[in-house]
Amino acid sequence: MDREAKSNHITWHAGEIAHRDRQRLRGHKGVTVWLTGLPSSGKSTIARELEKRLFDTGVCAYVLDGDNVRHRLNRDLGFSPEDRTENIRRIGEVAALFTDAGIVCITAFISPYRKDRAAAREAVGEDAFVEVYCSCSLAECEKRDPKGLYKKARAGEIPEFTGISAPYEEPLSPAIRLETDRLSLDKEVDLIVSHLTKSGFLQKES
Amino acid sequence: MDREAKSNHITWHAGEIAHRDRQRLRGHKGVTVWLTGLPSSGKSTIARELEKRLFDTGVCAYVLDGDNVRHRLNRDLGFSPEDRTENIRRIGEVAALFTDAGIVCITAFISPYRKDRAAAREAVGEDAFVEVYCSCSLAECEKRDPKGLYKKARAGEIPEFTGISAPYEEPLSPAIRLETDRLSLDKEVDLIVSHLTKSGFLQKES
């Protein structure tokens, strides 16, 4: 068989599967739900509950968080401003791949810098990027402190800790702002699902 | 509402969705189909055709290749041995995420070093990693040379070009060996789909 002809043939019928086709298979669009906020503001808890809720309704959802990214793909990176930027750059690119694959990708990272979040938005694509600000007072985050990290940071044992010794830049116009120090987890997830539905990400294609 | 109680609750019902549940939703398991071979040995063409074939039967499949990874996630990397290793390390970790998400992840990279492919296998997990060797003579690859890269490499215009000025280490025991200089594209894809089916990756859970 003539390989050249085969290649031409492949080029012709377009190797890439169209987004519309992926959407038809899954019944929903690819989208990145980007959670941002201080340590202990509730990001991972919300991400896992949202993933579960979507999964229960047949939606392909997947969480990227510290557990599966920081210790693996990005294990070569620390917490300097440069490494944080590279951390978020790579996560943005991975989220872009998941979104392109038609998955609801939920990311749960502090992502403290506006410019890094803007870069992630650009990587994923403006139309498929939903920024969710987990707004919680520093006092409340310190009170929760499930892993005792704030305590260690106050004692100077963890350098460059966001909220204590490293900055957090609040989103200026997030798609969703969750006051996580007063809302219940169910309500938080309701608000995100409602937004995704209204925005057409979860609707079946007719 | 008591946040502490909420957190405990979440920990209790386990944020992670079990692989078995993901499989039940999709009707297939997550797996990485890792194509390796010389430049122009047919990796990307096979990857795209396999993706299309699986997609047409309702399987969530997604290709990682030079187009969506080299120019984006790994755009900071070149072709030195160290950068090639880091390139494949990151791709292995991303493939591990897709596999964990229950997707059939198809990777199409030269991945010339045995140790790098072994690391990718370890990242994804032995049981979910299917190495496919696209075996093709250098002479045939050079004859195809759709982008004229071999020609440039021979002229010394591209340094560290696999097959010409950089090594390719053949897999010692790939799951599948495709003689891409004599098989048709349909047959190549048939062989992979058949292997995935026999190995239980594409079977519906009963």
**Residue B112 domain-assigned?**
yes
Q: What is the CATH number of the domain that holds A41?
A: 3.40.50.300
Nearest to A135 by CA among A35, A33, A32: A35
- Cα–Cα distance measured from residue B47 to residue B65, given in angstroms and rounded to the nearest whole number: 9
Burial of A95 (0-12, 13-18, 19+ CB in 10 A): buried
Residues A112-134 have a mean pLDDT of 97
Provide the residue range defining the domain that includes B125: 28-198
**Residue B16 domain-assigned?**
no
Strand stretches in B66-138, DSSP E: 104-108, 129-135
Total number of domains constituting chain B: 1
Phi/psi of residue A107, nearest 5 degrees: -110, 140
Residue A27 binned pLDDT confidence (cut-offs 50, 70, 90): low
Q: Which residues of A are catalytic?
A: 111
Which pLDDT does position A41 carry in this prediction?
97
**Residue B78 domain-assigned?**
yes
Per-residue confidence in pLDDT tens, chain B, 206 aa = 333 333 333 333 334 566 667 666 666 789 999 999 999 999 999 999 999 999 888 898 999 998 899 999 999 999 999 999 999 999 999 999 999 999 999 999 999 999 999 999 999 999 999 999 999 999 999 999 999 999 999 999 999 999 999 999 999 999 999 999 999 999 999 999 999 999 999 875 44
CA distance B157 to chain A (A): 24
**Residue B58 domain-assigned?**
yes
**Residue B66 domain-assigned?**
yes
CA distance B167 to chain A (A): 25
The proportion of chain A whose per-residue pLDDT surpasses 90, expressed as a percent, equals 78
**Residue B19 domain-assigned?**
no
Nearest to B17 by CA among B98, B101, B77, B122: B101
Instruction: Kindly report the average pLDDT of chain A as a whole number.
Output: 88
Interface test with B, best of A1, A2, A9, A17 (most B CBs within 10 A): A17
Cβ-proximal residues to B148 (8 Å cutoff; 6+ apart), any chain? none
**Residue B21 domain-assigned?**
no
Which pLDDT does position B24 carry in this prediction?
65
**Residue B168 domain-assigned?**
yes
Burial of B55 (0-12, 13-18, 19+ CB in 10 A): middle
**Prediction ipTM score:** 0.88
Q: Which residues of B are catalytic?
A: 111
pLDDT at A8 exceeding the cut of 50:
no
